[in-house]
Amino acid sequence: MYSAIRWRVRRVRGSMPGTGLRIRTLHVRDIRFPTSLGAHGSDAMHTDPDYSCAYVIIYTDREIEGHGLTFTCGRGTEIVVQAVKSLSYLVVGQDAGDIFKDFGSFWRKLTSESQLRWVGPEKGVIHLATAAIVNALWDLWATAEHKPLWKLLVDMNPETLVSTIDFRYISDVITKEEAIQILKSKQEGKGEREEEMRTVGYPAYTTQVGWLGYSSERVRDLCREYLSQGFTCFKVKVGQNLEDDKRRCKIVREIIGWDNKLMVDANQNWDVQQAIDWMKELAEFKPLWIEEPTSPDDVLGHAAIAKALKPLGIGVATGEMCCNRVMFKQFLQAGGMQYCQIDSCRIGGVNEILSVYLMAYKLGVPVCPHAGGVGLCEMVQHLQIFDYICLSTTKENRVIEYVDQQHEHFENPTNVKHAHYIAPTAPGYSTKMKAKSAESYEYPLGHEWEKMFNEGTFQRPHVPLS
C-alpha cells in the first residue's frame, strides 16, 4: 500500500516525497507510566519519576501518519502538551513536502515564532514541544519514504541533509559549506558500515545495575545478568551519599572486573568544587566518565571539573539537559564535555541534533547518546547509526545508553542483541506507540490510571489540566 501511495504522490508533484501530503491535523496526548512505584529511574535529583511523554500524532490527507514524542517525568507533561497545542498552528494545513524541501527554514519558523519565542527561546517547555512536533515530522517523512529514519538520513545527499539544519548562532564553529564538505568526504565504505549496523549493530551500555537505593545483592545480581547478556559498559548513579556510592561502585567493579567500563552519573547534584572533591574519592574505581556533575547550564563549571579530573583519567559527560545547539557549541568549545550525550527530545528534534553531531565531529568529541526514558532508545539508535555510517565512521569511545523499560509500548521496539542495537528495519523513527498502551496510560483518563486512582495507588491530579 505504501508503495502505491508513494508512487502516486511522486507522479503528481515531482520528486520530493511527501509533496501533496497535506497535514490535516495534529493531536497531542499526555501519556504517563507509573514508574515511581518501583525505584526504577530514580536518581539524585529525580527521586520519583513517572516516565511519561507528550505524544504527537500528525494526520495527513492520506493513510500516512507521523508519530513523535518528547520524554517527560510525570508532572509537567501537561505544560508541554499545552505548548504543542500552541505551536501546532504552524504545522496544521501545511504541505509536508513544502516543509521537507526547506526543513531548515521551517525549523527556524517553529523556533522563532515572533511571540512564542519569548517563553523560550529554544529551551525548556517550548523546545521540548518543538522536539515532539519535529520528531513526528521526521517520522512522517521516513514513513512516506518507506525507510527507517537512519536509512532516510544515510541515503540523502549531503546538500539535502544539511538543508534541514539552521546554522544560526553556530557559524563561528561550523558553516553549511563546511558541513557539506565533511559529509562528502565520508562516503567511502558507507555500504560496509550499513551492512555492519544491520547485522552486528551498535554497542550499548546499561544503566540498570546501579540506581540509587538498590541493595548490594541487587547490584551484584544485575551486574552478573548484564555481563551474561554481553554488556561491557555499566553506569552507576552517584551523588547523594559518598559511602553508598563507594559501596555500589565497589560491588560493580568486583563483578565486572577492570577490563569492562564503569561510568558514574551525578544527575546535577553538585557544585563545582564539590564535584571535583567527590570524584577524587571515587577515582579509585576508575570511572570512564562522570556524567552531569553540576548544573546542565554551567559550561565553565564543567570545563573546570574536566580540567581537574583529567589527571585522574576521568572525563566529563553531559548533554541530556543541554538545552540547545548554542549550549552544545560552548560545551564543545570550552572542553566542558569529553563525551557528548545528545538526547532525542531535549533539543529541537533531528534537525538540531544533526548540527550537534557535526560540531562534535569537527571538535573531536565522541557522541554517546542519552537514552532510557520513554522512546529515547528507540530514537537515538537511528541517530547514532547515521553518525557511524556517514560522519564519524568509528565506534571508538562511543556507546549508546540502554535501559530496558517501556519498550513494550512501542510498535517497533529496539532490537538489542549481545548488547548491540541492531539497525531498525521498519519505516519511520520507531516512535509509534501501541494504540492500546496510549489509551490505557493516557493521563488522567486512561483506564490504567482510573484503576490506580480508584485503588488509591495514586492521587488524582491536583491541578487543572489543559
Catalytic residue ranges? 237, 370
Q: Which of 21, 64, 116, 419 binds a second copy (CB under 8 A)?
A: 116
SS3 114: coil
Contact 162, 179 (CB under 8 A): yes
Size of the site for a second copy (CB under 8 A): 71
Under rule CB under 8 A, residue 122 binds a second copy: yes
| DSSP secondary structure, 198-215, as one string | HHT-EEEEEEEEE-TT--
Report 39-58 residues binding a second copy (CB under 8 A).
Answer: 45-50
Q: Which of 1, 11, 63, 115 binds a second copy (CB under 8 A)?
A: 115
Report 306-345 residues binding a second copy (CB under 8 A).
Answer: 321, 323-324, 326-327, 329-330, 333-334
Tell me, what amino acid is at 88? S
**Minimum CB separation from a second copy for residue 125, in Å?**
4
Distance CA 380, CA 387 (A): 11
When the beta carbons of 46 and 220 are compared against a second copy, the nearer one is 46
When the beta carbons of 75 and 247 are compared against a second copy, the nearer one is 75
What does each C-alpha distance from 61 to 6, 22, 68, 209, 398 come to in angstroms? 13, 6, 18, 46, 41
When the beta carbons of 88 and 163 are compared against a second copy, the nearer one is 88
Q: What is the dihedral of CA 113, 116, 121, 122, to 10 degrees?
A: -70
Distance CA 233, CA 286 (A): 13
Contact 302, 316 (CB under 8 A): yes
Report 359-398 residues binding a second copy (CB under 8 A).
Answer: none
Q: Which of 14, 169, 181, 230 binds a second copy (CB under 8 A)?
A: 169
When the beta carbons of 30 and 387 are compared against a second copy, the nearer one is 30
Under rule CB under 8 A, residue 284 binds a second copy: no
Report 235-274 residues binding a second copy (CB under 8 A).
Answer: 268, 271-274
Contact 49, 74 (CB under 8 A): yes
Under rule CB under 8 A, residue 118 binds a second copy: yes
| Site mask for a second copy (CB under 8 A), range 58-77, x = bound | --------------xxxxxx
How far from chain centre, in Å, is Cα 188? 28
Distance CA 63, CA 70 (A): 24
Q: Which of 86, 94, 232, 240 binds a second copy (CB under 8 A)?
A: 86
Containing 306, the helix (H) or strand (E) segment is helix 299-309
The pairing of beta strand 261-265 with beta strand 289-291: parallel
Distance CA 405, CA 51 (A): 9
**Minimum CB separation from a second copy for residue 363, in Å?**
13
Contacting range for a second copy; rule: CB under 8 A; set: 1-9, 96-104, 126-134, 155-163 = 126-134
